[in-house]
């Protein structure tokens, strides 16, 4: 290999943007980029390491020896080291050997901007330059309407490593998933998939939430083009793709971002703001311009290079509060004396503004568990700028209610009705995520009380209630067929359960609920507006019955919904309705094909008997532990 040839792809304008934290396409400049310089093929390397006094590229092309291929530091105080090495080809494994001014420390680091990495537990970066020819133009041209806030949005959350494995208990490849997973998601009528982090991570039990390769899809399932094929195939089948994205923290692994150039480069130097006690990981320095540019560039990278339709931002609450998971004396207030992390809030707003400005038809979704206000409101009116926010309170209250034996539920109806007091303060997504089925919390099915029939009926009712509650929906894989055991990332879902009638009944129910949601505008046109919901009666505690309406733009689309949270059928149950005429049952979670008792309603004609403040009413049967919808 030849020596390092001085070369740069940075203009003065690039450097000024980088220093000011406004360079949002850093992946086009930093990292390793195969190219031709002066007629020679090789690779250009660029890395940010301002505390270094020397940086060498070491790899399988130079026997991992330091000093043979030293990069040149730029003269402009940007802290960027760069150079072109002739003969270094795509597929070459490499790292940066960084000799720091700080106490003469040496670190050996993976490239923060690498597009590909060795498969863990190996840790080297890989020079990568393959091209992929996308075939999803139709989706990209029309996705704005598919991803809008008044469109159906039903998400299947997937951990790629454990959705399904092959006969040898090995991971499926991206290519295999592009066949099996896509066909399944399409059959189940989900509108979107959400992948738990696909960026490179060293430790399987972290499920991908401790990242070391922010720009590299994990090599566990194949090459980067495989992930592009998976996303492309989903798009060609009309399915949107959301990626989990983790700007909240990163691990201390030796090859990762921590203590990168012998200094606290990416992490905040004050451990009260730079270390996460819950996850024993490091927290980004959100006030450092170059770190802000790194994070925003990374978010845009996945939208740009991988055509993703949304980012679900992990652990937003931990970013917003300086005292998150900290006791008194373990944190320092901001300049106003309170607990908000002003630098993180500023970054989030800047990120969301840039995402929505640069990419049409995408969404950012906040996993945020507190009552921080205006998370999903525009930055222009003082919000954080997310498109949606997870409704963690609804999830918690609903599961607490459903865990109770039906005989006690009449004392706790407020657990279900309380969500409507704040349902329209944000654009809420209703999540039953992976977090609810791990660490001894049991599967959704086994949270339910009663005998086998009642457990499954409760689960079907929970899903029926979820899909008719205002907001968008998210289900973690396995929930859709009533997985019995907790999720285990080391093994496949229990697909064998589908041979049993009750499990297959739940799967059929979720499939039909997804279709029902997509087919009925009353469930999505005003899903974030109080105009889209109206209580009929939330006060029938004694019978544990809720009745309500969902409304679309047209009155003829309005739905009347009744839920019975006890195993006692409610026969000749009178409901006030908004108009005279006939009402037809259009969905019933108690149908025999779902494993229910088969209770159903024929067409119901209204009577002029006033009820629930309405001039007209109907008498119906609400099935045991069932939800029924009338149109």
The DSSP bridge pattern shows strands 533-540 and 545-550 to be antiparallel
Q: How far apart are CA 72 and CA 359, in angstroms?
A: 35
Number of Cβ within a 10 Å radius of residue 601: 18
Contact 95, 124 (CB under 8 A): yes
Phi, psi of 627 (to 5 degrees): -120, 135
Residue 558: name the closest of 546, 548, 569, 550 by CA: 550
Can you tell me which residue has the tokens 């109770």? 404
Question: Is 367 a residue of the active site?
Answer: yes
Structure tokens at 603: 């067409």
Evaluated on CA atoms 501, 506, 511, 517, the torsion sign reads: positive
User: Which of 544, 547, 566, 560 lies closest to 604 in space, CA to CA?
Assistant: 560
Longest dimension (CA), the chain: 91
* Residues with Cβ within 8 Å of residue 13, at least 6 apart in sequence: none
Told to judge if 314 belongs to the known catalytic residues of this protein, a careful annotator would answer yes
Written as six digits, the tokens of 608 are 């002029």
- The candidate with the shortest Cα–Cα distance to 163, out of 143, 140, 180, is 180
Q: How far apart are CA 572 and CA 587, in angstroms?
A: 18
Cβ neighbours around 561 below 10 Å, total? 23
What does residue 357 show for φ and ψ, rounded to 5 degrees? -75, -35
Say which of 253, 367, 512, 590 is annotated catalytic.
367
* 142 phi, psi to nearest 5 deg: -120, 5
Q: How far apart are CA 449 and CA 565, in angstroms?
A: 12
The residues, ordered by sequence, that sit 6+ positions from 374 with a Cβ below 8 Å of its Cβ are 381, 382, 383, 384, 426
Which residue among 82, 314, 343, 480 is the active-site one? 314
Phi, psi for residue 616 in degrees, rounded to 5: -125, 155
Catalytically active residues are 314, 367
């Amino acid at each position: 290999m030849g020596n390092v040839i001085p070369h740069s792809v940075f203009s003065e304008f690039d450097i000024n943007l980088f220093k000011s934290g406004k360079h949002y396409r850093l992946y086009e400049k930093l990292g390793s980029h195969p190219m031709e310089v002066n007629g020679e093929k090789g690779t250009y390397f660029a890395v940010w390491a301002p505390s270094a006094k020397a940086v060498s590229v070491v790899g399988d092309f130079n026997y991992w020896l330091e000093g043979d291929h030293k990069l040149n530091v730029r003269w402009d105080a940007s802290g960027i080291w760069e150079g072109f090495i002739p003969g270094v080809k795509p597929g070459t494994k490499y790292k940066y050997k960084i000799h720091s001014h700080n106490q003469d420390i040496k670190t050996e680091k993976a490239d923060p901007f690498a597009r590909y990495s060795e498969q863990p537990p190996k840790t080297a970066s890989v020079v990568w330059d393959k091209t992929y020819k996308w075939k999803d133009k139709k989706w990209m041209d029309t996705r704005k309407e598919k991803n809008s806030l008044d469109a159906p949005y039903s998400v299947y959350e997937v951990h790629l490593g454990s959705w399904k494995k092959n006969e040898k208990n090995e991971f499926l490849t991206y290519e295999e998933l592009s066949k099996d997973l896509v066909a399944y998601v399409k059959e189940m009528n989900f509108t979107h998939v959400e992948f738990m982090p696909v960026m490179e991570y060293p430790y399987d039990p972290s499920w991908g939430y401790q990242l070391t390769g922010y720009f590299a899809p994990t090599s566990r399932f194949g090459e980067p083009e495989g992930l592009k094929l998976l996303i492309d195939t989903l798009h060609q089948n009309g399915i949107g793709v959301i990626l989990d994205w983790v700007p909240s923290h990163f691990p201390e692994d030796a090859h990762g971002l921590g203590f990168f150039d012998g200094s606290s480069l990416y992490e905040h130097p004050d451990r009260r703001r730079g270390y996460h006690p819950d996850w024993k990981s490091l927290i980004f320095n959100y006030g450092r311009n170059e770190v802000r540019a790194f994070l925003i560039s990374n978010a845009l990278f996945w939208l740009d290079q991988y055509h993703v339709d949304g980012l679900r931002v992990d652990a937003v609450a931990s970013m917003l509060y300086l005292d998150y998971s900290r006791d008194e004396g373990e944190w320092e207030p901001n300049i106003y004396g309170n607990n908000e992390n002003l630098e993180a809030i500023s970054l989030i707003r800047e990120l969301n503004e840039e995402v929505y400005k640069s990419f049409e038809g995408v969404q950012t979704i906040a996993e945020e568990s507190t009552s921080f206000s205006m998370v999903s409101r525009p930055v222009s009116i003082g919000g954080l700028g997310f498109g949606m926010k997870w409704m963690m309170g609804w999830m918690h209250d609903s599961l607490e209610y459903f865990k109770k034996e039906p005989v006690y539920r009449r004392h706790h109806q407020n657990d279900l009705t309380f969500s409507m007091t704040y349902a329209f303060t944000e654009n809420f997504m209703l999540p039953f995520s992976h977090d609810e089925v791990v660490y001894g919390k049991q599967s959704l099915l086994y949270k339910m009380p009663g005998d086998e029939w009642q457990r499954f009926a409760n689960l079907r009712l929970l899903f029926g209630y979820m899909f008719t509650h205002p907001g968008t929906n998210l289900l973690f894989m396995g929930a859709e067929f009533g997985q019995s055991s907790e999720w285990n990332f080391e093994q496949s879902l229990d697909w064998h359960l589908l041979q049993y009638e009750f499990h297959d009944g739940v799967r059929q129910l979720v499939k039909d609920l997804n279709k029902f949601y997509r087919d009925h505008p009353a469930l999505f046109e005003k899903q974030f507006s109080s105009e889209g919901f109206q209580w009929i009666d939330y006060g029938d505690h004694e019978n544990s019955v809720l009745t309500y309406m969902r409304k679309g733009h047209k009155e003829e689309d309005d739905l009347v919904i009744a839920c019975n949270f006890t195993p006692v059928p409610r026969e000749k149950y009178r409901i006030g309705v908004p108009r005279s005429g006939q009402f037809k049952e259009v969905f019933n979670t108690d149908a025999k094909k779902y494993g229910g008792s088969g209770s159903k309603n024929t067409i119901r004609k209204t009577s002029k008997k006033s009820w629930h403040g309405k001039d007209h009413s109907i008498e119906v049967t609400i099935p045991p532990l069932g939800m029924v919808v009338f149109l």
